[in-house]
Amino acid sequence: MAVFVNGKFCKDPNVATAEDFFYSGLQKPGNISNPLGSKVTTVNVDQIPGLNTLGISLARIDYAPYGLNPPHTHPRATEILVVVEGELYVGFVTSNQLENKLFTKYLKKGDVFVFPEGLIHFQLNVCKTNAVAFAGLSSQNPGVITIANSLFGSNPPINYNVLTKAFQTLMQSKN
């Protein structure tokens, strides 16, 4: 029986070993043969039990040529990303209070960008070669909400009236 206490139990610290703080597997690229052309490999408290309560996790992100890590949010974490291979076009959108400004940047190898907690952000590979990035996240369990999936791919689907009204209204207000 699994028990859940803010997500995870702690192991008895007297029997913990180095293995509880270790993970192997980020050397190989994630499988990017998918329509989006990107793959996020996460290393959080599910992979490393010793991360529990410590407030941090890691991810490797692989991008096929022109691959996209589509607009998404992390409900419980800020992300700091560094490009280790290729070039990326990245951005996030500020909240309504700051008028939904889009902040973007072209990143080369070694460039770093921050996506503040809860804001919608994305990364696009703008080159014809693969790209790779590493990202630190400020939670051992940051969560991911891919906007397209959450809005149009939920199970069951969101009521049709909700979606059409939300998007038609926006479109009308822009015309």
Within 80-139, the residues that bind a second copy by CB under 8 A are 80, 82, 84, 89, 91-105, 108-120, 122, 124, 134-138
Quick one: tokens of 31? Answer: 């499988």
Residue 82 is inside which H or E element, if any?
Answer: strand 79-85
Tell the smallest beta-carbon distance from residue 75 to a second copy (Å).
2
Residue 69 marked ligand-binding: yes
In the list 56, 65, 87, 130, the residue contacting a second copy (rule: CB under 8 A) is 56
Integer Rg of the chain from CA: 18
Bond prior to 156 in cis (omega within 30° of 0): yes
Question: Cα–Cα distance between 143 and 72 in angstroms, integer?
Answer: 10
In the list 68, 87, 127, 130, the residue contacting a second copy (rule: CB under 8 A) is 68
Produce one character per residue of 115-138: b if its CB has 16 or more CB atoms within 10 Å, e if not. beeebbbbbbbbeeebbbbebebe
Tell the smallest beta-carbon distance from residue 128 to a second copy (Å).
14
Bond prior to 142 in cis (omega within 30° of 0): no
How many chain residues bind a second copy (CB under 8 A)? 116
Residue 79 marked ligand-binding: yes
Tell the smallest beta-carbon distance from residue 140 to a second copy (Å).
9
Q: Residue 123 in contact with residue 89, Cβ under 8 Å?
A: yes
Residue 33 binds a second copy, judged by CB under 8 A: no
**Closest C-alpha to 61, from 84, 40, 83:** 40
Quick one: tokens of 17? Answer: 């070993």
In the list 32, 73, 86, 88, the residue contacting a second copy (rule: CB under 8 A) is 73
Tell the smallest beta-carbon distance from residue 23 to a second copy (Å).
4
Quick one: tokens of 167? Answer: 């998007």
Residue 74 marked ligand-binding: yes
Residue 147 binds a second copy, judged by CB under 8 A: yes
In the bound state with a second copy, the residue whose beta carbon lies nearer, of 7 and 31, is 7
Q: Residues at the annotated binding site for oxalate?
A: 69, 74, 79
Q: Residues at the annotated binding site?
A: 69, 72, 74, 79, 121
